Amino acid sequence: MRQSSQASGQLSGGARTDVAERVAKAERIIAFLRQRYPVKTAENVAADIGGCVETIQKMIDRVSAPSAWTYGRLVCAYGPSFLCSALANPPGWIVAAAHAERLASVEAELTRITAELASLKS
């Protein structure tokens, strides 16, 4: 009787792809978080999402994957830009939402800088 590759401890092609996709997704999430907070990443992210520093650090260290609760809190805290980073091929509506979010952020910063510039010139 022939053993299945999974029963013998080997991964089938589909399982390998799934693992590779999960690893790539984890890398994208970690890169997003580290870009946002290069220093004290776990502490800052935990504060943003109301989570445990140790849990976030384990995720960053690739010891564990984010739970559904943690993933949901990351989406709530960081919005469409997080989803664009986390998903390999985000749907167009998420890309458009991330673009709109970034545009609003840049416009707000421009308004702040313009006001500061006007203040300095007066």
State the Cα–Cα distance between residues 19 and 112, nearest whole angstrom.
Answer: 45
Note the pLDDT of residue 14.
Answer: 59
In a domain, 1, yes or no: no
pLDDT of residue 26 exceeding 60: yes
State the Cα–Cα distance between residues 19 and 22, nearest whole angstrom.
Answer: 5
Note the pLDDT of residue 4.
Answer: 46
The number of distinct structural domains making up the chain is: 1
In a domain, 27, yes or no: yes
In a domain, 54, yes or no: yes
* In the chain, % of residues over pLDDT 90: 76
**Residue 4 identity:** S
In a domain, 7, yes or no: no
The band of 8, judged by pLDDT with boundaries at 50, 70 and 90, is: very low
Provide the sign of the torsion angle of the four alpha carbons 87, 88, 90, 96, taken in this order: positive
The pTM of the whole model exceeds 0.85: no
Count CA atoms within 13 Å of residue 78 on its CB side. 26
In a domain, 96, yes or no: yes
Domain holding 77, by residue range, is: 13-121
Note the pLDDT of residue 12.
Answer: 53
In a domain, 8, yes or no: no
In a domain, 89, yes or no: yes
In a domain, 6, yes or no: no
